[in-house]
Amino acid sequence: MISENSILRFARGTRLQHDRVRDVWFIQAPERAFHADPIAVEVLQLIDGTRNVGDILDLLCQKFSAPREIIARDVLILLQDLATKQVLQAK
């Protein structure tokens, strides 16, 4: 399970990529591309294999001046989903 202490990185063969032609973001993965909505993009751009999830939540709180518990709930659901899809992995 992903927690605030988890340090995440993109699994090899997956990456976040801006699609210039459609001007949207995709998560590229083996044999498929998932569309990434603007919120997911904000979160995923902070995944660097060094910060833990708690640090990422702090940064998002500052940027969007929203209550931490609300951001934390949504972000953990997103990250857990992407870990299940083997896009992200815990270090």
Partner 1 sequence: MSAPPPPMSLLAELTHRCPLQCPYCSNPLQLEPRTQELGTQDWKRVLSEAAAMGVLQVHFSGGEPMARPDLPELVAHAAKAGLYSNLIISGVLLNTKNLQELADAGLDHIQLSFQDAEAENADHIAHMIGAHAKKLEAAQLIKAEGLPLTLNFVIHRQNCERVPAMLALAEQLGARRVEIAHTQYYGWGLLNRSALLPSRAQVEETEKVVAEARARLSGRMSIDFVTPDYYADRPKPCMGGWGQRFLNVSPAGKVLPCHAAESIPGVQIPSVTEESLAHIWENAPLFRLFRGTDWMPEPCQSCAFKEDDWGGCRCQALALTGDATETDPVCHRAPEHDLITQAITERPETPPPFHYRRYGKIKAY
Q: Which stretch binds partner 1 (CB under 8 A): 25-33, 41-49, 52-60, 70-78?
A: 25-33
Residues 51-90 vs partner 1: string with x where CB under 8 A? --------------------------------xxxx----
Question: Minimum distance from CB of 75 to partner 1 (Å)?
Answer: 18
Give CA–CA dist 87/12, Å, rounded.
9
35 neighbors 80 (Cβ within 8 angstroms): no
Contact 26, 73 (CB under 8 A): no
Nearest approach, Cβ of residue 70 and partner 1 (Å)? 26
Q: Which listed range, 27-35, 37-45, 48-56, 58-66, lies at the site for partner 1 (CB under 8 A)?
A: 27-35
